Amino acid sequence: MSNFSPGFHGRTHRFEGRLPPGQYPTESFPVLSAGPTPHVPTEDWSFTVTAEQGRARRWDWEEMMSLPQEEVTVDIHCVTRWSKFDTMWRGVSVDTFLDGVETTADFAVAHGEGGYTTNLPLEDLRGGKAWLVHTYDGFPLSPEHGGPVRLLVPHLYFWKSAKWVTGLSLTLQDEPGFWEAAGYHNYGDPWREQRAWSD
């Protein structure tokens, strides 16, 4: 028996090998947030990388937009079981922000507006695996979907792609974030169905 959503009308064979177990494809883009949606003007936005010894580097909107931009087309998978294929984004590779940062850290904590955090192994943010994105499907990223800038880590469940991202702290020890402390899996691999701590 195949999984399908109303938008796909059973055409899941088009995406064979791309749909993780327990997921269903959708053409919509559901909005899921733990609290109210922040509305951050681009002139007030900034992003800071802080190494474990406390050294920090900050970029404002104009500085971020002057960095090399990449067009990214990826599949995304939400822990609530929907998957969306061939999503199109524009932004800056996290590699660019980490370039020149002296660190021996193995982990990172992404910070978002409103105190949201999520933890990731640093290696999952390097090597062309993650971006700070400001554009979705050719339009500025809406606040509902994490604009003006969100983290994009498509190989993990989408809660790891922190909305309204403001910073990245590099840490020597793993520090569970908001959802991880509430019982979500610490890593969140959709292909291994790592939804909860017990998975």
Checking if the pLDDT of 190 tops 60, the result is yes
Q: What is the pLDDT of residue 180?
A: 96
C-alpha distances in Å from residue 123, one per residue of 22, 46, 128, 144, 193: 26, 23, 10, 28, 20
**For 135-186, how does the pLDDT look when each residue is reduced to its tens digit (9 = 90+)?**
999 999 999 999 999 999 999 999 999 999 999 999 999 999 999 999 999 9
Count of all residues that appear for the chain in the document: 199
Residue 15 binned pLDDT confidence (cut-offs 50, 70, 90): confident
In 28-75, alpha helices (H): 61-65
Checking if the pLDDT of 86 tops 80, the result is yes
Question: What value does the mean pLDDT of the chain take?
Answer: 92
